């Protein structure tokens, strides 16, 4: 998980405009995992990979996609829906 660790340290921890702290943490983690997937795909495009390197990248990509699948489940979706419901309606201000 070297790539994931390096990217996590590089993520800027700026606050998100979300009221729910759990949702904010989950969104931050989602962003980090997406950066990991992007980096792995970029590495996989290298024409100079040997079979061992390709296997390592694919294994990390598999782990990252499983994590994303679990991470983006019903609870996460419900938190986003709740956040949307709590937003003020801009049409009311016009």
Q: Where are the domains of the chain?
A: 2-85
pTM: 0.73
**CB-based contact 64:54 (threshold 8 Å):** no
Query: pLDDT tens digits for 34-86?
Result: 999 999 999 999 999 999 999 999 999 999 999 999 989 999 999 999 999 99
- Give the pLDDT confidence score for residue 15 in this predicted structure: 77
- The secondary structure element, H or E, covering residue 15 is none
Going by pLDDT thresholds of 50, 70 and 90, the confidence category of residue 8 is: very low
Whole-number Cα distances in Å, 91 to 2, 28, 80, 81, 83 = 47, 29, 21, 19, 17
């Amino acid at each position: 998980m070297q790539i994931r660790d390096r990217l996590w340290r590089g993520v800027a921890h700026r606050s998100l405009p979300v009221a729910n702290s759990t949702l904010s943490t989950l969104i931050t983690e989602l962003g980090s995992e997406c950066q990991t997937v992007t980096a792995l795909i970029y590495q996989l495009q290298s024409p100079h990979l040997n079979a061992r390197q390709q296997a390592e990248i694919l294994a990390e990509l598999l782990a990252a996609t499983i994590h994303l699948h679990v991470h983006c489940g019903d609870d996460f979706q419900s938190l986003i829906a709740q956040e949307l419901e709590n937003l003020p309606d801009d049409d009311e201000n016009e």
